[in-house]
Chain A
Amino acid sequence: MKTLAALKVLVVEDEALVSMLVEDMLGDLGCEVVGPAAEIEEALRLAGSAEIDAALLDVNLGGRPIFPVADALKARGVPFAFASGYGEAGLTEPHKGSAVLQKPFREADLRRVLEGLAAQVV
Chain B
Amino acid sequence: MTVLEADAVSATEEIVDLRRRLAEAQAAHADEVRRNEVFSRIAAAIGAHQSLGETVQAVIDGGVELIGAQFGAFFYNVIDDAGESYMLYGLAGAPPEAFADFPMPRKTAIFAPTFDGVGVVRSDDILADPRYGQNAPRRGMPDGHLPVRSYLAAPVTTVDDVVLGGLFFGHRETGKFDARAETLIIGLAAQAAVAIERSRAGEAGHRELTERRRTEERLKFALDSGRLGSWELDVGTRAYDASDICKSNYGRTADQDFGFDDLVATIHTSDRERMLAAMDEAIRTGGDYDIEYRVVIPSGETRWVHARGRAAVRDETPVIGGGVRRMAGVSLDVTERKRAEERQRLLLNELNHRVKNTLVTVQSMAAQTLRAAENLDAFREAFEARLIALSQTHNLLTEQNWESASLREIVDAELEAFAGRERLDFDYVRDLRLNPKATVAIGMAVHELATNAAKYGALSTPEGRVTVAWSIEPLEAPARLVLTWTERDGPRVTPPGRRGFGARLLEKGLAGELSGVVRLAYDQSGLVCAMTLPLAALEP
A positions within 8 Å CB-CB of B: 14-21, 24, 36, 38-39, 60, 62, 84-86, 90, 103-105
By a CB distance below 8 angstroms, the chain B residues around A19 are 509, 512-513
Contact between chains at B512 and A103 (CB < 8 Å): no
Closest 9 CB pairs of A and B: A85-B356, A16-B509, A21-B364, A16-B513, A17-B364, A104-B360, A17-B361, A104-B359, A103-B356
Shortest distance between the CB of B164 and any CB in chain A (Å): 75
Interface membership of B363, Cβ < 8 A: yes
Q: What residue of chain B has the Cβ atom nearest to residue A60's Cβ?
A: B353
By a CB distance below 8 angstroms, the chain A residues around B355 are 85
By a CB distance below 8 angstroms, the chain B residues around A60 are 353
Shortest distance between the CB of B382 and any CB in chain A (Å): 14
Interface membership of B410, Cβ < 8 A: no
Query: What mask results when residues 354 to 374 of chain B are scored 1 for a CB within 8 Å of chain A, else 0?
Result: 011101110111011001000
Q: How many residues of B contact A (CB 8 A)?
A: 27
Contact partner of A16 (CB less than 8 A), chosen from B349, B353, B359, B505, is: B505
B positions within 8 Å CB-CB of A: 349, 352-353, 355-357, 359-361, 363-365, 367-368, 371, 437, 441, 444, 504-505, 508-510, 512-515
By a CB distance below 8 angstroms, the chain A residues around B359 are 103-104
By a CB distance below 8 angstroms, the chain B residues around A62 are 437
Q: What residue of chain A has the Cβ atom nearest to residue B353's Cβ?
A: A85
Contact between chains at A18 and B515 (CB < 8 Å): no
16 more A-B residue pairs beyond the given contacts A16-B505, A39-B515, A62-B437, with a C-beta to C-beta distance below 8 A: A15-B361, A15-B437, A16-B508, A16-B513, A17-B365, A19-B512, A20-B509, A24-B368, A38-B512, A60-B353, A85-B355, A86-B353, A103-B359, A104-B356, A104-B359, A104-B360
17 A-B pairs in the complex with CB atoms less than 8 angstroms apart: A14-B513, A15-B360, A15-B361, A15-B441, A16-B441, A16-B444, A17-B368, A18-B364, A19-B509, A20-B508, A20-B509, A21-B363, A36-B512, A84-B356, A85-B352, A85-B353, A86-B356
By a CB distance below 8 angstroms, the chain A residues around B371 are 24
Shortest distance between the CB of B68 and any CB in chain A (Å): 98
Shortest distance between the CB of B75 and any CB in chain A (Å): 80
Contact between chains at A15 and B357 (CB < 8 Å): yes
By a CB distance below 8 angstroms, the chain A residues around B504 are 20
By a CB distance below 8 angstroms, the chain A residues around B444 are 16-17
Residue of A19, A38, A105 contacting most chain B CB atoms (<10 Å): A38
Contact between chains at B357 and A86 (CB < 8 Å): no
Q: What residue of chain B has the Cβ atom nearest to residue A16's Cβ?
A: B509
Shortest distance between the CB of B279 and any CB in chain A (Å): 28
Q: What residue of chain B has the Cβ atom nearest to residue A62's Cβ?
A: B437
* Cα(A85)–Cα(B441), bound, Å: 19
By a CB distance below 8 angstroms, the chain B residues around A14 are 437, 513
By a CB distance below 8 angstroms, the chain A residues around B505 are 16-17, 20
Q: What residue of chain B has the Cβ atom nearest to residue A23's Cβ?
A: B508
Shortest distance between the CB of A49 and any CB in chain B (Å): 19
By a CB distance below 8 angstroms, the chain B residues around A20 are 364, 368, 504-505, 508-509
Contact between chains at A16 and B512 (CB < 8 Å): yes
* Cα(A17)–Cα(B513), bound, Å: 9
Residue of A16, A24, A38 contacting most chain B CB atoms (<10 Å): A16
* Cα(A19)–Cα(B357), bound, Å: 11
By a CB distance below 8 angstroms, the chain A residues around B363 are 21, 104
Shortest distance between the CB of A91 and any CB in chain B (Å): 12
Shortest distance between the CB of B371 and any CB in chain A (Å): 7
Shortest distance between the CB of A108 and any CB in chain B (Å): 14
Residue of A17, A39, A104 contacting most chain B CB atoms (<10 Å): A17
Contact between chains at A16 and B356 (CB < 8 Å): no
* Cα(A102)–Cα(B504), bound, Å: 25
Contact partner of B361 (CB less than 8 A), chosen from A18, A38, A86, A105, is: A18
Contact between chains at A86 and B515 (CB < 8 Å): no
Q: What residue of chain A has the Cβ atom nearest to residue B366's Cβ?
A: A21
* Cα(A71)–Cα(B398), bound, Å: 36
* Cα(A14)–Cα(B441), bound, Å: 11
* Cα(A68)–Cα(B371), bound, Å: 35
By a CB distance below 8 angstroms, the chain A residues around B441 are 15-16
Shortest distance between the CB of A53 and any CB in chain B (Å): 22
Shortest distance between the CB of A59 and any CB in chain B (Å): 9
* Cα(A85)–Cα(B358), bound, Å: 10
* Cα(A104)–Cα(B363), bound, Å: 8
* Cα(A90)–Cα(B346), bound, Å: 11
By a CB distance below 8 angstroms, the chain A residues around B367 are 21, 24
* Cα(A87)–Cα(B116), bound, Å: 85
By a CB distance below 8 angstroms, the chain A residues around B356 are 84-86, 103-104
Shortest distance between the CB of A16 and any CB in chain B (Å): 3
By a CB distance below 8 angstroms, the chain A residues around B509 are 16-17, 19-20
Contact between chains at A86 and B349 (CB < 8 Å): yes
Shortest distance between the CB of B135 and any CB in chain A (Å): 89
* Cα(A45)–Cα(B510), bound, Å: 21
* Cα(A19)–Cα(B363), bound, Å: 11
Shortest distance between the CB of B314 and any CB in chain A (Å): 46
By a CB distance below 8 angstroms, the chain B residues around A18 are 357, 360-361, 364
Contact between chains at A21 and B513 (CB < 8 Å): no
By a CB distance below 8 angstroms, the chain B residues around A17 are 360-361, 364-365, 368, 444, 505, 509
Shortest distance between the CB of B264 and any CB in chain A (Å): 28
Contact between chains at B513 and A103 (CB < 8 Å): no
Shortest distance between the CB of A90 and any CB in chain B (Å): 8
Contact between chains at A86 and B352 (CB < 8 Å): yes
By a CB distance below 8 angstroms, the chain B residues around A104 are 356, 359-360, 363
* Cα(A21)–Cα(B504), bound, Å: 12
**Known interface pairs A14-B437, A16-B510, A17-B505; A38-B515 also in contact (CB < 8 Å):** yes
Residue of B363, B371, B508, B512 contacting most chain A CB atoms (<10 Å): B512
Q: What residue of chain B has the Cβ atom nearest to residue A14's Cβ?
A: B513
By a CB distance below 8 angstroms, the chain B residues around A36 are 512
Shortest distance between the CB of B538 and any CB in chain A (Å): 12
